[in-house]
């Protein structure tokens, strides 16, 4: 049985390079894996030109990459992080392996692996997921006249999101977070992709950006709405576990890929 391809859907302001060392480790375990540069995530030089992209534009990009892999006969697992859980969920429509088989096509999405992700119900958004749980620690940010938000306190951002990294390393990575489209956090989910495929969730107990309470609420919502159990793994990880708890996260995603392949 061929191994599935893995697509990382990054968190807000996260460039693909955040996942480079994680990707290298997973590739070393024999898997094809890549991270996307979402339209809602800006550039190292600042905001993108034109109107701030929507969550739906992110979902369209994810779907495009899924189709490219599926059209080559590949099974695909979406690996989401933080904000990425929302557009990844939206993108599933019509792209599951089962749906494609009905059309006489090979390949397709066989599962979603959420890493401490924002997963709203239909009609909700990444933003409502955050507002529903005020116990999280706010990171100082501002929204420019161009509609892109940015972080105004790098040391605080590092303490909240890069909690388990040494101070200097956390601030190094926090400073690399780029501007993000503010509108993307308000776009409501129109398709509950978690109902269509098996779901795994990496619950990060030390996350101060998306609290464990918020993560558990998302898991409970998925189970209630889908009627299926979520395969949950809990670790003492912070918000950027692919960096700070890398070996555990690599073991987790390899195990998830093996399990979902056996179910496909």
Main-chain dihedrals φ then ψ at residue 110, nearest 5 degrees: -115, -5
Indicate which CATH number applies to the domain containing 216: 3.40.50.1820
Q: How many domains, in total, are found in the chain?
A: 1
Segments in the chain forming alpha helices (H): 20-27, 55-70, 85-91, 97-102, 126-131, 154-161, 167-174, 212-226, 241-244, 246-263
pLDDT at residue 133, as a whole number? 66
pLDDT at residue 1, as a whole number? 62
Nearest CA-CA partner of 219 in 129, 156, 125: 129
Identify the domain containing residue 74 by its residue range.
5-263
90: its two tokens: 């939206």
Low-confidence residues in the chain, pLDDT < 70: 1, 132-136
CA 21 from chain centre, in angstroms, equals 17
pLDDT at residue 139, as a whole number? 84
CA 187 from chain centre, in angstroms, equals 16
Q: What is the pLDDT of residues 123-146, one digit of tens each?
A: 999 999 887 665 667 788 999 999
pLDDT at residue 135, as a whole number? 60
pTM: 0.96
Nearest CA-CA partner of 126 in 85, 164, 97: 85
111: its two tokens: 């599962």
pLDDT at residue 136, as a whole number? 64
pLDDT at residue 153, as a whole number? 96
């Amino acid at each position: 049985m061929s191994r599935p391809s893995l697509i990382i859907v990054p968190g807000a302001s996260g460039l693909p390079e955040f996942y480079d060392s994680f990707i290298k480790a997973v590739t070393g375990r024999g898997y094809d894996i890549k991270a996307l540069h979402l339209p809602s995530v800006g550039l190292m030089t600042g905001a993108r030109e034109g109107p701030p992209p929507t969550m739906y534009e992110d979902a369209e990009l994810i779907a495009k990459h899924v189709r490219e892999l599926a059209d080559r006969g590949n099974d695909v697992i979406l690996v989401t992080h933080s904000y990425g859980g929302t557009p990844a969920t939206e993108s599933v429509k019509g792209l599951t392996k089962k749906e494609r088989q009905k059309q006489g096509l090979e390949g397709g999405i066989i599962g979603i692996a959420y890493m401490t992700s924002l997963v709203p119900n239909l009609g909700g958004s990444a933003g409502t997921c955050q507002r529903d749980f005020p116990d999280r620690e706010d990171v100082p940010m501002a929204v420019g006249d161009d509609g892109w938000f940015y972080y105004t306190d790098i040391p605080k951002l590092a303490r909240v999101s890069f909690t388990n990294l040494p101070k200097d390393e956390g601030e190094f990575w926090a400073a690399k977070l780029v501007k993000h489209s503010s509108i993307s956090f308000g776009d409501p989910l129109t398709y509950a992709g978690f109902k269509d495929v098996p779901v795994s969730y990496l619950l990060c107990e030390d996350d101060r950006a998306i609290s464990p309470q918020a993560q558990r609420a998302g898991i409970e919502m998925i189970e209630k709405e889908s009627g299926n159990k979520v395969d949950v793994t809990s670790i003492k990880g912070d918000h950027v576990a692919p960096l700070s708890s890398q070996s555990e996260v690599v073991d987790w995603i390899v195990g998830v890929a093996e399990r979902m392949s056996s179910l496909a």
